[in-house]
Amino acid sequence: MTSLFFDLDGTLTDPKAGIISSVHYALDKLGIDEVPGDLDWVIGPPLPESFVVMVGADRAEEGVRAYREHYSVTGLYQNEVYPGIPALLAALKAAGHPLYVATSKPHVFANPILERFGLASYFDAVFGAELDGTRGNKADLLAHALAQTGSDPQTSIMLGDRKHDILGAKANGVKTISVLWGYGSRVEFEAAGTDRIVESVAELRDELL
């Protein structure tokens, strides 16, 4: 049976409100007045990398700390489950697929989100980064998840909405399905070499069941 590794942000849930509000909080705390208008690009990539772009390498760690002050209390719950995801997960679980979360988000945030929105029970395990950045890279994270679960890369699929999911999977010999309802684009997915692109949860269900 195929092991399915799901990204969280932009794949299972839409985290935009919480992430963007937390970024604004952090930039304000760092005294940065000119905030870029469209910050959607920060959703998905490892947070420290995004702050290097926004505030420079010398202040990135400070930015991440400020971000987490807001996100850990308020931002992580400013979130919405994409329509159709619970029914999809229930059907996949009933069909016998091992289901896992593999997210660059720290697991100390990922687990409460899954619990709050009623998704935790569908997953056999949740794999996320550590707060110090360990396994923040998707390739390292997925390698760890494969080892911990004993999943065969050749019979596993990584499902996500950004190029990082594709590149991390390819580094581990895992096939990918990229979803267009999140924050990545068809151009991004094709450039990264994804195996399959789906436009809707219904199309993903047809692909997997």
Instruction: Tell me the catalytic residues.
Output: 7
Q: Strand pairing partners for 125?
A: 100
Cα–Cα nearest to 4, from 143, 114, 97: 97
Tokens at 116, concatenated: 């709050």
DSSP, res 31: T
Judge whether 141 and 133 are in contact, CB under 8 Å: no
Place of tokens 């979360």: 101
Q: Closest Cα to residue 115, out of 144, 76, 147, 84?
A: 76
Among candidate residues 5, 15, 6, the one with its CA nearest the CA of residue 117? 15
C-beta separation of 201 from 85 below 8 A: yes
